[in-house]
Amino acid sequence: MATAPLVCEPRIEDGNEPSGTMQPSRHEKEPRRDGRAHVDRGWSNIAWPTAIWIGGVHLAALAAPFCFTWSGLAICLALYYVTGSLGVCLGYHRLLTHGSFSTWRPVKVFYAWLGGISGEGSAIDWVANHRKHHAFSDQEGDPHTPRDGGLWAHMTWMFPRHTAAELAAHVRRWAPDLERDPAILFLHRTFVLWHVLVGALLLGSGWLLYGPFVGVSWLIWGLAVRMVIVFHVTWLVNSATHMWGYRNYETTDDSRNLWWVGLLAFGEGWHNNHHAYQRMAKHGHKWWEIDVTYWAILLMERLGLAWNVVHHPPGARRSNAAAASDGMEVAPLATP
């Protein structure tokens, strides 16, 4: 007999930073039903702004072979790291979603801005979706489980339309701390503007320094190509690491550690480790599990820009009952 999924709320510490744990609450109805089974088919039920945004970026990237420059490639790779590792992995994920460390408020807002120019949506939307994913991981209500299909988990889960009321309730439930933050809310409302400004900076600086061809190259490679790379690398964490790889821990979801996603996604591909201990700043638990994003957190800690870093699990081994209070069950398959 099927049981109703446990409805969980993110716990907010000091009215600001999320702890990354999910506290049980059975009193509030879910603001929307996620998952492929609840999608209404048809063109009228597509979130056209999202579809046009993602489709447009991919179309623009098709121009890359016709405007290649080595400087454009270098800018693409540099911004791939800055927006992917520092913006999405460190900022959106480990800081804003799970509270893996604390930092100064200007630094927090800066990382939220970096995550925004990755093109993956504002911090408010990204964090709300990811917290819900953890609360219902690979169960009814998970926005992007591969149990609904690999392509669905990778990208098409973003295309179904939700009403404005559903989206607002979704944010209030899963990211209330960010919704109350004026700076984060400003970045949310000006999401597209920042991409226009970054694009203008790339085009204008390349044009002024080296001519129009280089300006266009910097625009296409530094904006469109880089965004496509960051998109798909991040999406592989949602899809590939819930289908393939090995497990260090027995969790109630399908999370796996997948080495090539671990490398491409700056440490996020050690996904089973993360699902087992969600607040840990360090996702690589074995010596060979390289975690580039964690290295950046260690540097921040050394420079006094990060503190309260969750380096280790809260106890050498946590019981299933204790882990369940974080919205999941976990038991070690092997000692990390």
pLDDT tens track for 115-136: 999 999 999 999 999 999 999 9
pLDDT tens track for 264-289: 999 999 999 999 999 999 999 999 99
pLDDT tens track for 53-64: 999 999 999 999
- What's the pLDDT at 59? 98
Residues 24, 7 contacting (CB under 8 angstroms) = yes
Query: Dihedral of the CA atoms 186, 176, 147, 139 (nearest 10)?
Result: 180
Token reading at 265: 């996604």
User: Which residue is it, tokens 């059975």?
Assistant: 26
Residues 270, 240 contacting (CB under 8 angstroms) = no
Token reading at 110: 């800066």
- What's the pLDDT at 220? 98
Q: Classify residue 295 by burial, with Cβ atoms within 10 Å: 0-12, 13-18, 19+.
A: middle
CA distance 57 to 256: 29
CA distance 91 to 301: 15
Name the β-bridge partners of 160: 46
- What's the pLDDT at 41? 66
Q: Measure CA of the first residue to CA of the last residue in the chain; give whole Å.
A: 36
- What's the pLDDT at 255? 97
What separation in angstroms does the CA of 228 have from each of 55, 112, 118, 119, 168? 10, 19, 9, 9, 27
- Name the helix (H) or strand (E) containing 215: helix 212-219
pTM across the whole model: 0.86
- Name the helix (H) or strand (E) containing 19: strand 17-24
Label residues 211-223 b or e (16+ Cβ within 10 Å = b). Answer: eeebbbbbbbbbb
CA distance 219 to 199: 6
pLDDT tens track for 160-217: 998 899 999 999 999 999 999 999 999 999 999 999 999 999 999 999 999 999 999 9
CA distance 268 to 89: 7
